[in-house]
């Protein structure tokens, strides 16, 4: 061994784990169940307790990375991240934050398709905890009830504010709309960029991922193509 060469090395098993973590694990983005995998005790801690706990652990992460937490710019970061996780970007984990759906009678007898398109959303990939962001397009055909347009937006935001995979996010939004509007005639298309693909891993900065859910009449070719024509995504 040369004098300046280190004798320290990562044990074989751990090296495997490192390689696997960086190159493969979580890059498949496979779909699990459509319910977010939450433990039954998920809400036993209050938000304040969660913020305190995450602050502590995020500080450990930053210190492990070698960052100087006495630096003015860094010292507030663990608390900022903890609040952001609990109150903002993962606030949709808590059913207490679910938007209340106010329904109205369909007094105009409007029985055509209603499309709300280009709803901006920000979510986070549950495999890497980096952003997924893009546009959601939702549509339904009324069964007699209609919903305020801003509610469609809020439902998208609620489910986006969870660690997610795009496929599950798409299905969760659709299932919620089916349940609130009491109709299977619901469609959701999401077109999003994944920073875990763009800024790391394969570093593809231009690709986007499109996922779709077509329920009830939207499975019929005419209805689906009418919807896609409104989105100008049919080509
Ligand atoms: Zn990812």
Task: Provide the phi-psi class of 18: left if phi over 0, else alpha when psi is between -120 and 50, else beta.
Answer: alpha
The percentage of the chain sitting over the pLDDT mark of 70, rounded to a whole number, equals 85
Average pLDDT over all residues of the chain: 87
CB 59 within 8 A of CB 79: no
Say how many Å lie between the CA of residue 28 and the centre of ligand 1. 8
Say how many Å lie between the CA of residue 57 and the centre of ligand 1. 21
Q: How high is the pLDDT of residue 5?
A: 41
Split at pLDDT 50, 70, 90, the class of 199 is: confident
Say how many Å lie between the CA of residue 180 and the centre of ligand 1. 30
Can you tell me the distance from the alpha carbon of 106 to that of 103, in angstroms, rounded to the nearest whole number?
9
Say how many Å lie between the CA of residue 163 and the centre of ligand 1. 10
Say how many Å lie between the CA of residue 174 and the centre of ligand 1. 22
Say how many Å lie between the CA of residue 229 and the centre of ligand 1. 30
Q: Is the pTM of this model over 0.75?
A: yes
Say how many Å lie between the CA of residue 70 and the centre of ligand 1. 31
Split at pLDDT 50, 70, 90, the class of 226 is: very high
* Active site positions, annotated: 125-128, 166, 194, 196
CB 186 within 8 A of CB 139: yes
CB 95 within 8 A of CB 172: no
Measured from the Cβ of residue 122, the count of other Cβ atoms closer than 10 Å reads: 14
* Non-local CB neighbours of 127 within 8 Å, separated by 6+ positions: 25, 26, 27, 29, 165, 196
Measured from the Cβ of residue 222, the count of other Cβ atoms closer than 10 Å reads: 8
Q: What is the mean pLDDT of residues 50-76?
A: 98
Q: How high is the pLDDT of residue 13?
A: 52
Task: Provide the phi-psi class of 90: left if phi over 0, else alpha when psi is between -120 and 50, else beta.
Answer: alpha
CB 198 within 8 A of CB 130: no
């Amino acid at each position: 061994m040369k004098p300046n060469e280190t004798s320290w090395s990562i044990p074989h098993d751990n090296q495997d784990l490192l390689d696997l973590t960086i190159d493969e694990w979580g890059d498949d983005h496979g779909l699990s169940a459509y319910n977010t995998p939450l433990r039954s005790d998920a809400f036993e801690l209050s938000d304040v307790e969660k913020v305190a706990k995450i602050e502590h652990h995020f500080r450990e992460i930053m210190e492990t990375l070698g960052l100087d937490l006495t630096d003015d710019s860094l010292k507030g970061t663990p608390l900022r991240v903890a609040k952001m996780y609990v109150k903002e970007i993962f606030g949709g984990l808590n059913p207490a934050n679910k938007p209340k759906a106010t329904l109205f009678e369909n007094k105009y007898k409007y029985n055509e398709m209603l499309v709300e398109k280009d709803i901006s959303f920000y979510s986070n990939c549950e495999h890497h905890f980096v952003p997924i962001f893009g546009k959601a397009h939702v549509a339904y055909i009324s069964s007699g009830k209609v919903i305020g347009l801003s509610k469609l937006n809020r439902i998208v935001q609620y489910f986006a504010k969870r660690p997610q995979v795009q496929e599950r996010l798409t299905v969760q939004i659709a299932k919620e709309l089916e349940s609130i509007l009491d109709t299977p005639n619901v469609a959701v298309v999401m077109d999003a960029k994944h920073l875990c693909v763009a800024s790391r891993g394969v570093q593809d900065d231009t690709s986007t991922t499109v996922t779709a859910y077509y329920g009830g009449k939207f499975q019929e070719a005419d209805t689906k193509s009418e919807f896609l024509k409104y989105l100008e995504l049919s080509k």
